[in-house]
Amino acid sequence: MKKLILVFSFLFTLTMWAKASTADSLMCTVKMSTEIVSEDEVIAPLGIAKSFGELDPYRFKITKLGDAQFEVEVFDPSLPARSYSQGILRQAGDEVKWAFWSSDVLLDVACRLKK
């Protein structure tokens, strides 16, 4: 009986790990002054930062941190600074957003779960 319980707990753990480690498909959009400048599909595996978007001098990345937790990173080398936004994305259409408004630029970034 102990072996059976051990086998089932191993299979349960393996199943949960496999579910958490699967990659998710996202649609990431970069807007400058409300105009879309970049729209990319990104496959985000667990724990790996994936680059998206093209808007010099900025750099954009999305990382899957956990089962449904994602983080958007925006790097501005002119400051130099990085800023982050995190969100829980469980269903198709859920999104994580980041925005920066200044007298020089209006920048919006959003990554939406496709599933």
User: For every one of its 115 residues, what pLDDT tens digit does the chain have, with 9 covering 90 and above?
Assistant: 666 455 445 544 444 444 445 899 999 999 999 999 999 999 999 999 999 999 999 999 999 999 999 999 999 998 889 999 999 999 999 999 999 999 988 999 999 999 8
When divided into structural domains, the chain yields a total of: 1
Going by C-alpha positions, the residue among 114, 115, 109 that lies closest to residue 53 is: 109
Residue 9 lies in a domain: no
Domain assignment present for residue 99? The answer is: yes
Other CB atoms within 10 A of residue 10 CB: 10
Gap between the Cα atoms of 70 and 64, Å rounded: 4
Q: 63, 70 in Cβ contact below 8 A?
A: yes
Compute the distance between CA of residue 61 and CA of residue 113 in angstroms, rounded to an integer: 15
Does the residue 51 lie in any domain? yes
Query: Which residues span the domain enclosing 37?
Result: 23-113
Residue 76: inside a domain: yes
Whether 12 is in a domain gets the answer no
Determine the pLDDT at residue 20. 46
The label of the residue with tokens 């496959």 reads 43
**What pLDDT shows up at residue 115?**
80
Radius of gyration of the chain (CA): 18
Which pTM does this prediction carry? 0.79
